[in-house]
Amino acid sequence: MKKRILCITAVCLVLAMLTGCSVIQSYFDRLSQLLGFSMTDFADMEYTRPDMDAFRAGLESCCADAEKETNIRKMQQIILDFYGLYEDFYTSYALAMIHYSKDLTDSYWEAENAFCTEHTAEVDAGLDRLYRVLAKSSLREELEGEDFFGPGFFEDYQGESIYDDTFNAMLTREAELVNQYYMVSSEAASAVYYSDAYFEYYGTKMATIFRDLVEVRQKMAAYAGYDSYPEFAYDFHHVRDYTVDQAQDYLQQIQTHLVPLYRQLNTSGYWNIQLQPSTEQETFAYVQAVANSMGGEIKAAFDDMADAGLYDIAYGENKFDASFTMYIYAYSAPYVFVNPTMTEYDKLTFTHEFGHFANQYVSYGSRTGTDVAEIFSQGLEYLSLCYVEAGGNLEKIRMATCLTTYVEQAAYASFEQQVYDLAADALTVENIQALYQSVGEAYGFDSWAWDSRDYVCITHFFTSPLYVISYVVSNDAALQLYQMEQAQTGAGMACYAENLATEEAYFLAFLESAGLQSPFAPGRLEEVKKTLETVLQ
């Protein structure tokens, strides 16, 4: 019997952990906005290591009080008291991760990030435990009213909880392995990226960590009653209203319809187009011009981000090799982190992450699922090309990377779904690489100077399992905004702005409500191919 897994939702707080472009989000109380809330400068945000003894004592007290409370207003305060503990922990976690990502050689932040990472399972289990107490409360009917959690909220918090000692131990082991990956990533900064030396030494270490991660994640899924880890991850990590089988069929269609064009692009000399250099100031100015041109809430979001220093787009030799947007809960503030290439493509990377920032800023901490959140990041990239004269080759490069997003992220998603299906006796470093090589060749990776050991360079495989399919499906929705804008000036932008504060968590449901087409719709990929061929040829 499958144990019920669900996203943690609350009256004032919804937490969804999305790393990698790694968005990390929270929904905080809108009342704070109505009471004159203003952004705190990032430099003034204080970090304190979470006091886990105080958290445990607070949890025990809240659960004990909730078991006997019969007054709805007092019960509400008990819940809010726990949310305060929960929010404080994730505020510390967010700040530790941001500071550590700025310099992976900083031993203090390495230790703080590791500490927070390894206690997330305990904190999430605490919220699960409180909800199970509330499910048995005499006040349950009132708590499931429209003014509180909503009808049927506690149906999934009855019976056996997944968060027992066995499951928590697996989560802790997973966190330990992720921390090991961060440490090896820090060490690898001393090597020439993508060189034989890089893969032979650091790549081997990362490959072993990945194998161990796959193993523990398979055990999690089996323990939770799922037939596969991908099915578990779709439920546990990503709010998705399509199935693993639907996704796999879609990935196969991409292989059929778009890989030939991808091979053609790679062998035609198209990538001889040179990216122009871009300084930090030039990258900032591009996104500022985009926000100013679009106006409204997008401009307000950018101005607050800039004024409060809620971004890092500077070059740093020891920065984490990724870009992401993270929500800092107690300060009600998103934060953008970019590891730049110092080329004009940084303009799009910063735009991408600012799209996440704007979504979280306008919606007071986005409550959407992974796939919906990525529409706002990728969508702003495409729309920026329609609102600011980029110069150079940025538009040509972006449309080419549209194709590579479809194909390469589809390949990563296909590999990831297959690797978690490997039997225990077949789960070896050698077999994982062989599978990756096979999938890569099927998706045309052999049409460029590809090294089949490079799956260890895909951060998401380690930190955000089964995330990459989001880039594929959301890229399709984002491209539709671009197509709308090209067909009628302002149409794509209007759709983007109207839905920026969406409360819809599910991807297909969001597309329907926004008047966008499902990427799985018959003929959609043929339509995409025609658009790309028109631009690229």
Cβ atoms of residues 11 and 456 within 8 Å: no
Determine the pLDDT at residue 4: 33
> Hey, is 316 helix, strand or coil?
coil
What is the residue-level pLDDT of the chain in tens, covering all 537 positions? 333 333 333 333 333 322 334 333 333 343 344 334 578 999 999 999 999 999 999 999 999 999 999 999 999 999 999 999 999 999 999 999 999 999 999 999 999 999 999 999 899 999 999 999 999 999 999 999 988 888 999 998 987 788 888 999 999 999 999 999 999 998 998 899 999 999 999 999 999 999 999 999 999 999 999 999 999 999 888 879 999 999 999 999 999 999 999 999 999 888 877 788 999 999 999 999 999 999 999 999 999 999 999 999 999 999 998 999 999 989 999 999 999 999 999 999 999 999 999 999 998 887 788 899 999 999 999 999 999 876 667 888 888 999 999 999 999 999 999 999 999 999 999 999 999 999 999 999 999 999 999 999 999 999 999 999 999 999 999 999 999 999 999 999 999 999 999 988 899 999 999 999 999 999 999 999 998 998 887
pLDDT at 392: 65
Give the pLDDT confidence score for residue 354 in this predicted structure: 98
Longest dimension (CA), the chain: 72
Residue-level pLDDT at 275? 81
Residue 282 has which token pair? 């030039």
Provide the pLDDT for residue 328: 95
23-27 and 324-328 beta bridge pairing: parallel
H-helix segments, 314-463: 345-362, 370-387, 394-404, 410-419, 429-442, 459-463
Per-residue pLDDT, 27: 30
SS3 20: coil
**pLDDT on residue 335:** 98
Phi–psi pair at 444, nearest 5 degrees: 85, 15
Count of C-beta atoms within a 10 Å radius of residue 520 = 17
**226 near 420, Cβ under 8 Å?**
no
